[in-house]
Structure 1
Amino acid sequence: MFEHLSSLCPSSLYDGACTDSQCTKGHDAKFCETCLIICAPASGFNLHLQTRQHHAKLALVRATTLLKCTICNVTVAGAGPWGMHVAGQTHRKKASKRGTSTEVIPVDPRIPNAQERRCVLCQRNIGKTQWQNHLQSHDHRRFEKVAAYKALYERAEQDKNTVSVSHADGVDFGTIDTAQSRNGVTIHLTLRTNSSTSRIGVKSVNAVTKLSTVSVFSATAPLKGADSTLTANRPITLPVQFRHGQLGQYQGHVEIVLEDVSQRRFVIVRQLKAAVGDTTHHEILKPQAPYQKRKRAPWRKGRPFVPGCRPPAMSAVPWVKKLRPAKIPIWLSSILSGHPSSDMKEAIRGKIPKTFNLKTHGDTFKMLLWVEEFKTDDDLRVYDMEDVQFTKEGGLYKMRVPGLAEKRPSVIVGDRIEVQPAQATSGRCFEGWVHVVRLNDICVGFSTSFKPAGGQRFNVRFQLNRIPLRRQHQALNAPGLKRVLFPEVVDASSQVMPAAAPSSRLFNALLRGNPEQLRAISAIKQLKPGAAPYIVFGPPGTGKTSTISEGILQILAQDEDARILACAPSNSAADEILSRLKTQLDTNTMFRFNAVFRDQRTVSEEVLQYSYRNPEGVFSIPDMQCLTRFRVIVSTCVSAAFAYGIGLRPGYFSHIFVDEAAQATEAEVMAAMKWMAAESTRIVLSGDPKQLGPIIRSNIARDLGLGKSYLERLMERPVYNDPAVRQKTIIKLLKNYRSHKAILNFPNDHFYDSELQPCGSSAVINAFIDSPILVDPKFPVIFHAITSKDDRDATSPSYFNIDQATLVKDYVTRLLQEGSTGAVDIGVITPYSAQAKKIRQLLKGVADDTDVRTVEAFQGQERRVIIVSTVRSTRELLTHDIKHALGFVANPRRFNVAVTRAQALLIVIGDPSVLSIDPLWRAFMNYVFNKGGWGGDAPGWDTHAPVDESGDYVQEILQAAVQDMDEFARRVEQLVLEGAEAEEGEDGPWREAE
């Protein structure tokens, strides 16, 4: 169907007129840019302009269209704000300064330059030279089909031929609880004719469920004879029923085919929708306002700043090495702010050294760090605030910060803010330093000249804390050791083959039966000065932290002169190292260095015992004589740069250990080791490059190398792959002590070459076998399919899904009711912080001890039960980028972390129609379905068909959606009368624009 679209003239359709007198294309069509509808023939266009849908959409567009002022370089939304802007004092002054009229024609800010034009239909900017190719492209053709389909559907919805059908805005069953939905809910459509002479027959009634493997809607046609004949005195009632017992949201339509006395058939369609869920949950979790991209607070550049009052904690550590500013070079900042995104990556690549070696290592990562800093600082701008009032509190000033409790923005003591008077066009701006951070507000130290008048308001900018970045730049300036940065096979040749087990007794007797751990401990203990870094590759639950902890203890027992720096990318991972070592090392032997601004409220008592606080109560270091008595110092990677900063010599540490090294950027690891590693220093890394890597905000920096960890880069080198030496340089731990075999099997096959061996305690991993919560009593994995809707709230870009949150609560409640599982045994993982927040709301008072976190926060954790809410769901497959709808759910490492946290029960909640786009998710769902663990509606594809790991399943989904659209067109195209009567437009109620 819709084959006629390819014969239409693009100039006539999209430019409004065709200037080619020889054009042989069709011109009988019109395109509504407001509604993105193609009316063919064009006679339907005027009818469309009179519909309620068009008027509603037009009002919405007028209120929200972005308009850019070329005089002020300001973008506003809607005609009203535009009028206020051009009438404003700031606009008039700038126009006067430029010697131009205040009257200015707004431009579309979505079109960045004169070399492009906007394809309104596809919502994309296209280079003018590529315009004709774009018009013939598969994607554009698909959007044309959708536009024609929408016009056809709109005409099918219109009352016609004297017949009107009730529920002009569609039949909405609302939100129904599961008990009701299982029994079925019925709503009646009423058919009427306003002609006293008409006799209209109802020929058929067909209810269609959209994008579902089950039919949840049904409609009953009247019996033949008089009951099926519509007259002015005898309206007809048609029952439409929704029946389905699964949580979720469902859409469809009912097609009513009628026939007049001249045997002309026509169709009237009504949209159907229903939701099965908890009405209370929908009410308390619904968006407080429609999502709008957060508007950046106004900021006037180039104003002088009055320095603020720094917190005393900034002088808590006696630094002897100067920390240089390492600011982004002006030329690089110009590239990052001035190039189109498509060109920026290549422009940056051209500035990075062509070869990556010992000489260029530092310059390469300095460049990538600056690119990442620029993006991070730009992302931070969304949290800038306007019209802020400060309240004096002692010598400081208090300001409220919305989102502070959720770390949006994340603010710590020692951070810097900048403030300038709101609305003022002149005057001083002030720098402030954060002295106190509370749940919802912060206290800031300004210059004594900061004296806000009563009620005075300010615009506020949060500044990126650059100290961690400066420490990384400082480390990258250090001369590097080739065997550390670019180890070769020769660097392992002098190493002896590790013994099967260490010769001395084990501190942790539980390691005795694990040959890989014992070999790793032997190798660490036997590591010689000048060796290549030794790597412990530890898949989930294999005990890599236990292994390196035992290695540290063995070294200390063997060599009384050993000095060890043990670090990890995060405070939680560093604290875990300390926790493993504290049973053997007292506070005179081990020291935990904390950044001076670490929030002490988040630090456990056991960690505090190994830490040092100065008389003011701030984290610091003891005097040098005391510090050098410690044999083990534990720190985060970046904070470990303190050793160089306070003057410890290179080689002071005999060993440097980095746990969870796959989660750190190479620059972060260099902060710990590049200045401190001498030829005698032995280096041990542990981690899993198959799990989450470093968190990088800049796609450019990630693509150019910052997203690859130091551990992963080393593992690609021959010295870690050459069969002649690899046993001396790397070990892969194989015994998984965490998960039931059914939970482990899939990630084992897809990430670990099927080498992992399930060795968990049977009392733990078999805890849910034969539980009534399972679909298959012997298979403790559930995938619960749910078709629902994802939302965003106000200006938050993070997604949430109310029905999935409800399902999470249902599972948690059932688990607690079983009695053998406590709230603390359950973990809930979701990729979006907004979903985590909504789930916590529902679990409050039900399961307060259940951890609900994002995937990143759960790495390294385990729980007896893990429930995963994948969140993303979309019903508009043809008009959305459905790959984008997957979001960062479609990340193999994120997937791996999420499904490997569970010990005894894994429950995954998701929309299979969206997840099946990704080959890895499709394979996982096939695994669960074929093993009998599937809950909810069955998948819509063959679960026994082999999955193409590099396959593009987007086209499969799109083709199915196009097929549904074509089938609808075939059924109704000839039944939509050309002479359909127009509706009365804005006078009646109208359907919300989708």
Structure 2
Amino acid sequence: MATSTFLFAYCPQTLYGAGCSDPTCSLIHDAKYCDVCGVICQPAATYSTHISSQSHIKRVSNTRWLHCPICRVSVIGQHIWDSHVNGRLHLKTAKSRSVDPKLVQPTEPPLVTPGMRRCETCNVHIPDHNWTSHLSSRAHRNLEQHAAFRAAFELASHDKHGVSVSHAESGLDFGIVEVAEASRGLQGRLAISTDDHTSTTVVSANFIRSKSGNKHTFRVDFESARALRPGETVDLPVLLETTRRGHYGEQVAIMFRESSGNTFRIVRRVKAVVGDAADHEALKPVTPYVNRRRAPWRHGLPTMSGERPPSLLAAQWVKRLPKSHIPLKLAEILQSGSPADIASHVQEKYFSDPMNLNTHNLIFARLLWVEEHRTAEDMRRYDMIDVRFAKEGRLYTLQVPGLAEKRPSVMIGDAIKVQAADGTEGRTHEGFVHDVQMETIRVSFHGSFQAEGRRYNVSFQLNRVPLRRQHQALNSSLPNPGRLLFPDPGQEGLERPLGFNEDPVDLFNALISTNPAQLQAVKSILRLRQGAAPFIIFGPPGTGKTVTAVEAIRQILLRNPDARILACAPSNSAADIIAMRLDALTPEELFRCNAASRDPASVPEALVPYTLRMTSHYAIPPLDTLKKYRVIVSTCGNASFAYNVGMERGHFTHIFVDEAGQATEPEVLTAIKTMSSEETRIVLSGDPKQLGPIVRSSIARDHGLGVSYMERLIERGVYDAQHRRTSWIKLLQNYRSHASILAYPNEKFYEGELEVCGDHATTHSFVGSPQLESPKFPIVFHAIAGHNDRESTSPSYFNIDEASEVKAYVQALLNDRNFPIQARDIGVITPYHAQVRKIRKLLRDTGFGDVDVGSVEIFQGQERRAIIISTVRSSADLLAYDAKFTLGFVSNPRRFNVAVSRAQALLIVVGDASILSVDPIWRGFMNYVYLHGGWRGDAPTWDANAPVQADGDYADELQEALAADMSAFMAGLSINGGEAGGEDLEGDANVDRPFVEAD
């Protein structure tokens, strides 16, 4: 790991204090800090030039600190103040002081907060006792370097000594240039002029090249020195030339020599966007990004409720769900203090005890409450302000942007709360959703609700039913709970491993006979002992774990006429796959149990005969009918139906949970704990190396809710290597991918055990394609430096340059008749919802709407002949680089594994290599592609032959490269010498984390 070296070491007493009094201090004192602009002027004499600059004057006019006298916090700008007064902290504090939160007026910030000091460089408040250590911290020192660099660039950009260079404000901007035009070369010009009293000589003009990069997109047409007469203007030609899309920005330094012999430099930015102008116009931000405002909300008002939809009364429940509300004390802790303080307090009070059989239920109940609180907070992102309802019969309709994408996630039966936007009504209306269609909901309200002529604020309410089901499962009494929750050696499914030729089976799927691991898994499940620990099928990508589970189910039914099987999966789509592969069963033998609120359009046509649908909703048959089915398929979350309609414990002889690694432990226990008897055999199939459960709360995730039931069990001794084939089996034959596509995830996640068994005609169908850099290597990493955008109130990122590149690849693939492929055989994966929308729009507008575009979660369990991945995050501009840059969702080993293992024959990754290289998994992958000839674009800025540190954090190395670039820049000029913002640090982290499917 590289260690940061700093360009300068400033004396903090000079920069942030009253001055240095230590005569032995060797740090830099000739510098002055501008806290308005966040720049360090060095030498200090340049401060006067800085404060007269347009950028400083503009920033001063737009900057105003506003202090909340009741919350004792200061914020910058009116829009942040508006967010603060609508926030939970302000509302709670105002209520405790019996004041109207809207009537609190901002004051001037106090000069000193007792016990705290503000670091303007880092934009954080620091306790006095931590001040010295903060100033010497790596994060602060890095930001100091950025501040010095920005000031140096600003100083170098000023016209001086009677010489002016054009494009002073925004630099020479070529705008958006088509690739064909850029490849031919495009010329721009900088105009150099002198005043009527100055004669000078242009000595040189050179681009200051980055040490960490190798781009040479721009060059200047300058051959020899040229003297300028007083009042003369000359043009300096600047040439743009590249064949690659992306954002490009460099700095040209022009050296002048005065008649006295003194030299000086003036710097100008030169930038261009190379790409499809139509794409950029189509995808540009509709409106600038602003933080979404929460709807102003008045608490304590009486609530008038509408009628619940008929679907909520679809079943005759014998056992009611518990309310399981968050304990008041825990709720108070979760709503007060900084995120760090909350996490510390929750840890100390609620999660200090180890998990064991005695504490299991309570710990998971607390985890669910913490998760519920976070999820409810995230739902507030979708509050709507000042909207109208339209009356439609007995119901009211509302247009909800983003509803089609489950943003917000709204289902039939969900509640919404509304209050009059003008505050004239002294009550809250609670409505219930009766229908969801695209971006419209139809809601029932109390008869006193008035829609005409009124506008309302809307708050979407979390559907607590899935959480209440999980609480119910946790609280249910389980006979011999140890064998399911904390199994030990001696509780293996089999006493000994079965031999390959032992217990021959007449298979329904003959292909399983050629796969030793699949065959042994099926035979082992048939021989499971009563009272055994759950049997696990560890199924890496493309190894056929669902096929294996389905074969085992059919063999059980064949051998045991009294067998009754509950088969579950975390999502409707995964449960549908199980049911469709059991289509040899009749509708009298198989029932696909759907939640009442499920959208009929999402149910595959082949499964319709296996469902029970009433006029407006799905239903559950009478108990006597339910008991006759040999197999019932459900989601994990809906699996408590059996318990709640009165089915006796032990009715199911076997419970199968597919994709078990994707669900939280309480979610899986909803299917298992309420219905298992001592005799019930449990089979889990999944892959702990692929996507885990969706958990929104970092606190809940840190304390174990993000670890699936299956993954937690695997850590116990009964599932160690010694018990392989008696408690668990790992499938090894991959039927999906070309060997080159499989190689890296196989080595990184599966100890190199996977065997390539895919159909050669499919896996090699792109060998020799012109889309490849190396004809026999079907992976491309396309290095592109794009630009992160956000728009409106969505914090989700998108990258137009990458979206345009993805479209170009799709177009090239579909137009190549020598390597034919259909649109439905191409998948585009991207981690950010905004990028999903932008790519879908481009492809739809181009006639390629049949190409699936979605998140990693959507593609888990799927495969495509060609997969294109857009990683989105980028930072092409050195001056705008975020010193605390994080990859967010992109930097997640499981998401990476799923994304790159979906492709059968062709994998194309489009991304910013320098940013991705921060993550060890991505760095190793890019090294693999580069060394095998699959790289397209500028070469890596690091040594691709150097071993990758698996547990390393290469952010420091990126900082080193950035420091080197700064050093090169300043040398070229001959110059001597917490996450910011917001109280809710989890909020944006969850913006692209999908809501769990509620049914």
Asked if the contact 1:209–1:250 (Cα under 8 Å) also holds between the matched residues in 2, the reply is no
> In the alignment, what sits opposite 1:836?
836
Give unpaired runs (5+ residues) of structure 2.
Answer: 86-90, 978-999
Q: CA deviation at 1:868?
A: 0.5
> In the alignment, what sits opposite 1:50?
52
Distance 2:436 2:107 in 1: 43
> In the alignment, what sits opposite 1:476?
474
> In the alignment, what sits opposite 1:863?
864
The letter of the residue matching 2:406 is K
> In the alignment, what sits opposite 2:927?
926
Q: CA deviation at 1:459?
A: 1.2
> In the alignment, what sits opposite 2:586?
586
1:315-464 correspondence to structure 2 within 5 Å: 315-350=313-348, 351-352=350-351, 354-424=353-423, 427-452=426-451, 454-464=452-462
Distance 2:10 2:282 in 1: 51
Q: CA deviation at 1:208?
A: 2.7
> In the alignment, what sits opposite 1:637?
636
Mean Cα deviation higher: 895-904 or 404-413: 404-413
Aligned sequence identity (%):
49
> In the alignment, what sits opposite 1:987?
none
Mean Cα deviation higher: 652-661 or 965-974: 965-974
Q: 1:562 to 1:109 in 2, by over 3 A?
A: farther
Distance 1:486 1:974 in 2: 66
Whether 2:960 is the aligned partner of 1:959: answer yes
Distance 2:104 2:439 in 1: 44
For 1:597, what is the secondary structure of its paired residue? coil
Distance 2:976 2:525 in 1: 79
Q: 1:758 to 1:48 in 2, by over 3 A?
A: same
The letter of the residue matching 2:9 is S
Q: CA deviation at 1:126?
A: 2.2
Q: CA deviation at 1:116?
A: 3.5
Q: 1:389 to 1:73 in 2, by over 3 A?
A: farther
Q: CA deviation at 1:115?
A: 4.3
> In the alignment, what sits opposite 1:488?
488
Distance 2:795 2:975 in 1: 44
For 1:797, what is the secondary structure of its paired residue? strand
> In the alignment, what sits opposite 2:217?
216
Q: CA deviation at 1:360?
A: 1.5
> In the alignment, what sits opposite 1:236?
234
Mean Cα deviation higher: 647-656 or 132-141: 132-141
The letter of the residue matching 1:186 is Q
For 1:701, what is the secondary structure of its paired residue? helix
Q: 1:433 to 1:75 in 2, by over 3 A?
A: farther
| 1:450-502 residue CA offsets vs partner (Å, 9 max, x unmatched) | 234x3211111100000000000000001232111111111128635334265
Distance 1:623 1:98 in 2: 55
Asked if the contact 2:660–2:685 (Cα under 8 Å) also holds between the matched residues in 1, the reply is yes
TM-score of the two chains, using structure 1 as the length reference: 0.92
Q: CA deviation at 1:641?
A: 0.5
For 1:913, what is the secondary structure of its paired residue? helix
Q: CA deviation at 1:336?
A: 0.6
Q: CA deviation at 1:953?
A: 1.6
Q: 1:74 to 1:431 in 2, by over 3 A?
A: farther
Distance 2:187 2:497 in 1: 76
Distance 1:666 1:278 in 2: 47
1:43-442 correspondence to structure 2 within 5 Å: 43-62=45-64, 67-71=66-70, 78=77, 105-106=106-107, 115-169=115-169, 170-196=171-197, 198-210=198-210, 212-224=213-225, 228-350=226-348, 351-352=350-351, 354-424=353-423, 427-442=426-441
> In the alignment, what sits opposite 1:792?
790
The letter of the residue matching 1:192 is S
Q: 1:672 to 1:97 in 2, by over 3 A?
A: closer
Distance 2:616 2:146 in 1: 65
The letter of the residue matching 2:77 is G
Whether 2:4 is the aligned partner of 1:6: answer no
Distance 2:367 2:116 in 1: 30
Q: 1:94 to 1:541 in 2, by over 3 A?
A: closer
The letter of the residue matching 2:767 is I
| 1:515-538 residue CA offsets vs partner (Å, 9 max, x unmatched) | 000000000111121111100000
Q: CA deviation at 1:83?
A: 11
TM-score of the two chains, using structure 2 as the length reference: 0.92
Distance 2:364 2:167 in 1: 62
> In the alignment, what sits opposite 1:734?
732
The letter of the residue matching 1:156 is A
Whether 2:972 is the aligned partner of 1:971: answer yes
Asked if the contact 1:492–1:728 (Cα under 8 Å) also holds between the matched residues in 2, the reply is yes
Mean Cα deviation higher: 383-392 or 143-152: 143-152
The letter of the residue matching 1:463 is Q
Aligned residues: 958
Q: CA deviation at 1:307?
A: 2.0
Q: 1:19 to 1:204 in 2, by over 3 A?
A: closer
Distance 1:102 1:408 in 2: 32
Q: CA deviation at 1:323?
A: 1.0
> In the alignment, what sits opposite 1:985?
none
Distance 1:493 1:438 in 2: 47
Distance 2:117 2:605 in 1: 62
Distance 1:685 1:110 in 2: 61
For 1:691, what is the secondary structure of its paired residue? coil
Q: CA deviation at 1:165?
A: 1.1
The letter of the residue matching 2:377 is D
> In the alignment, what sits opposite 1:813?
811
Q: 1:878 to 1:357 in 2, by over 3 A?
A: farther
The letter of the residue matching 1:938 is A
| 1:527-573 residue CA offsets vs partner (Å, 9 max, x unmatched) | 12111110000000000000000000000001011000000000000
Distance 2:109 2:821 in 1: 57
Asked if the contact 1:208–1:215 (Cα under 8 Å) also holds between the matched residues in 2, the reply is no
> In the alignment, what sits opposite 1:982?
none
Q: CA deviation at 1:30?
A: 2.4
Q: CA deviation at 1:328?
A: 0.4
Distance 1:83 1:834 in 2: 25
Q: 1:263 to 1:3 in 2, by over 3 A?
A: farther
Q: CA deviation at 1:14?
A: 2.5
The letter of the residue matching 1:359 is N
Q: 1:121 to 1:876 in 2, by over 3 A?
A: farther
| 1:807-834 residue CA offsets vs partner (Å, 9 max, x unmatched) | 1011101111113101011000000111
| 1:929-986 residue CA offsets vs partner (Å, 9 max, x unmatched) | 111111111111221111111223212211121112112222324599xxxxxxxxxx
> In the alignment, what sits opposite 1:40?
42
Distance 2:757 2:22 in 1: 79
Distance 1:559 1:516 in 2: 23
| 1:271-319 residue CA offsets vs partner (Å, 9 max, x unmatched) | 1111110111111101112222212111111212112211111000110
> In the alignment, what sits opposite 2:607?
607
| 1:651-682 residue CA offsets vs partner (Å, 9 max, x unmatched) | 11000000000000000011001010110000
Q: CA deviation at 1:436?
A: 1.2
The letter of the residue matching 2:612 is Y
The letter of the residue matching 2:317 is W
Asked if the contact 1:218–1:242 (Cα under 8 Å) also holds between the matched residues in 2, the reply is yes
> In the alignment, what sits opposite 1:940?
941
What is the root-mean-square deviation in Å for CA atoms of aligned residues? 2.8
Distance 1:362 1:144 in 2: 49
The letter of the residue matching 1:890 is S
Q: CA deviation at 1:99?
A: 12
1:548-567 correspondence to structure 2 within 5 Å: 548-567=549-568
The letter of the residue matching 2:240 is F
| 1:698-753 residue CA offsets vs partner (Å, 9 max, x unmatched) | 01101100000000011111111151x33211000000000000100010010000
Distance 2:972 2:590 in 1: 77
Distance 2:597 2:96 in 1: 47
The letter of the residue matching 2:244 is Q
1:506-905 correspondence to structure 2 within 5 Å: 506-582=507-583, 584-614=584-614, 616-721=615-720, 723=722, 725-819=723-817, 820-844=820-844, 845-875=846-876, 880-881=881-882, 884-905=885-906
Give unpaired runs (5+ residues) of structure 1.
Answer: 977-994
Q: CA deviation at 1:19?
A: 9.3
